[in-house]
Amino acid sequence: MKKKMAVLGSGAIGSSIGADLTKAGHDVMLIDQWPAHVDAMKANGLHILMKEGDMHVPVKAAHLCELATLKPNFDIVFLTAKSYDTRWMVELIKPYLKSDGVLVSIQNSMNDELIAPAVGYQRDIGSAIELAAHLFEPGRVRRITSQPHTWLSVGELHGRMTPRLQEIADILKCTGIIETSSNIWGVKWTKLIANCMVMGLSGMLGIYNWQVAEEDALFRWVMQTGRESLQVGQALGYRLEPLFGMTAEDMLAAPDDMLEKNVRTILMNITKESHSCIYHDHLRGRLCEVDQINGLVVEKGRAVNVPAPANQAICDITRDIEQGKLKISLDNKAVLEKYWKQVFPAA
């Protein structure tokens, strides 16, 4: 019997994954809170636009408000919602998750800290993903990272290799390169460091991700946010993992050398056309995930007495954009310079 699955929070990433799963023959329902997007999926399926060729997939879709009457019973739920929607979405879907079902968080940040207490530690599988996609028009996704270049690591929170973990990995093979990890917390923090170094910075300036490494004045922010994130992670006891083609030897290099190779490797492997999701949230006037990325480093840093002023500055400037005090602009370089002189006067 086919496993019944759901993709909860079917934005750009969730729609890309949901289309792959559906095309591969899985029984999957895409659930989202954007009414027009759900209506478009119901009427016309999903159109995934890629350089390698467009894909049109008829999908099963549902509005959040339909769950109570549909009364589905899922074996697997892939949570692909924004990090700030994690807590309430987990509570929403919990009654529809089978007693032996599993929820797989495919999100930024360290959201399993919220998920496991809600659904049960034994029903939560963590992941880290590298997939860029955009959704601006209902039912139509521009997928920047094609399947051969999409990367996903999944792991049990307790670190053991289990049959269900391998089953999840096998299911997700249709969407990209899948790895299983015995250290998913370390994998997730390693990815968080990379996100802290790039996403907020490129988003506030309106530039492509790769451009943050093109100017010394910007790259010092990349490196400082990375240093702080690394120090906080070390203080918390996370063991970092080589990602994106890096090796175990690379991770043993001096901290700055490791951080620079990590971020440059990521930037080299992503398309030149890739903007951060924070940039796209700014364009749409949406709340972005800066508090769950750079802000999480600041919060966790306070708990272990490791200051993170550069990450705090990224949060402050991003919030000013969200509140309309600043606009996405290269003019924010001057704002960054002012912050740098205040926070690092001796640098």
- pLDDT of 12-43, one tens digit each? 999 999 999 999 999 999 999 999 999 999 99
pLDDT score of 261: 86
Average pLDDT rounded to a whole number, residues 205-234: 95
pLDDT score of 271: 66
- Residues 50 and 139 both lie in one domain: yes
- Residues 150 and 205 both lie in one domain: no
CA distance 22 to 4: 11
- Residues 235 and 143 both lie in one domain: no
Of 158, 182, 206, which residue sits at a domain end?
182
Mean pLDDT, all residues of the chain: 94
pLDDT score of 16: 98
- Residues 296 and 225 both lie in one domain: yes
pLDDT score of 266: 77
**In this structure, what CATH number is given to the domain that contains residue 165?**
3.40.50.720
Average pLDDT rounded to a whole number, residues 33-56: 96
pLDDT score of 125: 98
Alpha helix (H) residue ranges in 151-183: 163-172
**In this structure, what CATH number is given to the domain that contains residue 221?**
1.10.1040.10
Average pLDDT rounded to a whole number, residues 213-231: 95
The H or E element containing residue 191 is helix 184-205
- Residues 204 and 161 both lie in one domain: no
- Residues 201 and 75 both lie in one domain: no
Question: What ranges make up the beta strands (E) of 33-73?
Answer: 46-49, 55-57, 60-63
Band of residue 200 on the pLDDT scale cut at 50, 70, 90: very high
What residues make up the domain containing 150? 4-182
Statement: residue 121 has pLDDT above 80: yes
pLDDT score of 5: 98
Which of 110, 125, 128, 130 lies closest to 163, judged by CA? Answer: 125
For the ranges 164-178, 214-228, 233-247, the lowest mean pLDDT is seen at 233-247
Of 155, 182, 209, which residue sits at a domain end?
182
The CA-to-CA distance between both ends of the chain, in Å, stands at 62
CA distance 207 to 186: 29
- Residues 244 and 276 both lie in one domain: yes
Query: How many Cα neighbours within 13 Å face the side chain of 50?
Result: 21
Query: Degrees (nearest 5) of the Cα angle 282, 283, 289?
Result: 30
pLDDT score of 244: 72
To the nearest whole percent, how much of the chain has pLDDT over 90?
85
Of 182, 216, 238, which residue sits at a domain end?
182
Total domain count for the chain?
A: 2
- Residues 127 and 219 both lie in one domain: no
Statement: residue 149 has pLDDT above 80: yes
- Residues 65 and 144 both lie in one domain: yes
The H or E element containing residue 253 is none
- Residues 49 and 162 both lie in one domain: yes
- Residues 128 and 210 both lie in one domain: no
pLDDT score of 1: 75
Q: For 262-319, how does the pLDDT look when each residue is reduced to its tens digit (9 = 90+)?
A: 888 877 766 677 889 999 999 999 999 999 999 999 999 999 999 999 999 999 999 9
Query: How many Cα neighbours within 13 Å face the side chain of 40?
Result: 19
* pTM > 0.75: yes
Q: Are 7 and 80 in contact (CB under 8 A)?
A: yes
Band of residue 347 on the pLDDT scale cut at 50, 70, 90: low
pLDDT score of 248: 77
- Residues 174 and 211 both lie in one domain: no
